[in-house]
Amino acid sequence: MKYVGMQTQIRRNNRLSVLLLLLFPVIILGMVWVFLALLNYFGNGYYNQYGELVHSLDVETVNYYFVTTIPWVILGVAVWFGIAYFMNASMVRRATGARPLTRKENPRVYNIVENLCMTCGMDMPQINVVDDPQLNAFASGIDKGSYTVTVTTGLTELLTDEELSGVIGHELTHIRNRDTRLLITSIIFVGIISTVMSLTVRMMNNMILFGGGSSRRDGKGNGLSVIVIMLIGLICCAVAYVFTLLTRFAISRKREYMADAGGAELCGNPLALASALRKISDNPGLTDVNRDDVAQLFIVHPQGLTQGFMNFFSSLFSTHPDTAKRIEILEQF
């Protein structure tokens, strides 16, 4: 297989990724509308002549409250997104325990990164290292000032120069294709919904433990229990969370293949990258990182190695394609 149509594939994936990314605010606003609609439907209950409770949906009222809510939702998401967007670098460092790597400390790694950057004509990113005897690497950052390539000490000690060049070329391709910016953006949106779900669950637990969930009804029997309202909100958040997870995973899987191809082309040795992936998958490092949103940045996800009958579900919710498949594709070049 030749690297024919590489730029065409990158442009196609970029367009698809933008479309997928646009789904996040659509999903959030969609769940807000569903939440308001469910409140309206269950809140407009009345008893008919047979004494049966009947519910109805007033779409006009729902749309009115939805329109008035949109600016507040957008403002809240924008503020939250802005803070998380510019704090991502420190967040990743804290989560992984990474520290800067200087040329004096490891000239071999520093020179490999520098030579590859000169080859493809890109600015030199920061280089970080994690003191982990196992093997892994990842790229992060949103702009030239924060782009970073991080490797474990085990990776630098156990890989040959050719294999290490393939791994670093993979990570540099993520930066060149703006993958890190896109993935961090998707991480933030998923984090927003995840946090709202957590707050909703906590509020429900507090109401159950300390009271406050009694119903308030008027003469027509219209009111809603606060617990029911919170439950509706939780269901909406859960649905939104599943959709955002699937969208995020789809973005990541597509771009891993592109980074493999770009890394192999950059280092000039696809078999070396295939060999590196095989070694990493046998002993993936960074397993102590307990944040799955950060782990999706790794070249091999340490939790993405499920085998057997769970493989289908693992591949559906995995942020990375199957490593064996990636190796097989590289070995065809």
Name the average pLDDT for the chain: 81
- Residue 268, pLDDT > 80, answer yes
Quick: pLDDT tens for 50-104.
777 777 888 999 999 999 989 988 888 888 878 877 888 888 898 899 999 999 9
Provide the annotated active-site residues.
171
- Whether the per-residue pLDDT at 153 is higher than 90: the answer is yes
- pLDDT of 2 strictly over 50: no
Task: Tell me which of 13-17, 85-89, 148-152 is least confident.
Answer: 13-17
Residue 77 near residue 26, CB atoms below 8 Å:
no
Return the pLDDT at 11.
74
Give the C-alpha separation, 137 to 150, whole Å: 6
Tokens of 96: 């992984």
Contact 276, 331 (CB under 8 A): no
- The residues, any chain, with a CB within 8 Å of residue 90's CB and separated by 6 or more, are none
Q: Supply the pLDDT for residue 10.
A: 67
Return the structure tokens found at 304: 């993405």
Higher model confidence: residue 271 or residue 283? Answer: 271
Q: Would you state the pLDDT for residue 327?
A: 93
Instruction: Answer for the pair 170, 260: CB distance below 8 angstroms, yes or no.
Output: yes
Residue 1: pLDDT band (50, 70, 90) is very low
pLDDT of 131 higher than 90 = yes
Does the pLDDT value for residue 105 go beyond 90? yes
Contacts of 244 (CB under 8 A, 6+ apart): 23, 24, 27, 186, 189, 190, 193
Exposed / middle / buried, residue 18 (Cβ in 10 Å: 0-12, 13-18, 19+): exposed
pLDDT in tens, 211-267: 554 444 444 444 456 777 778 888 888 888 787 777 777 676 778 888 999 999 999
CB 69, CB 36: distance < 8 Å: yes
CB of 277 within 8 A of CB of 299? yes
Q: What is the DSSP track for 87-122?
A: THHHHHHHHHT-EE--TTT-HHHHHHHHHHHHHHT-
* Higher-scoring residue by pLDDT: 10, 328: 328
DSSP 169-191: HHHHHHHHTTHHHHHHHHHHHHH
The tokens of 15 are what? 């367009």
Segment 186-212 mean pLDDT: 75
Are 29 and 244 in contact by the 8 Å Cβ rule? The answer is no
| Confidence (pLDDT) at 108 | 96
Q: What was the pLDDT predicted at 34?
A: 87
pTM for the model: 0.77
DSSP 56-67: ---HHHHHHHHH
Q: Where are the domains of the chain?
A: 6-91+179-330
Alpha carbons 189 and 141: distance in angstroms, whole number: 16
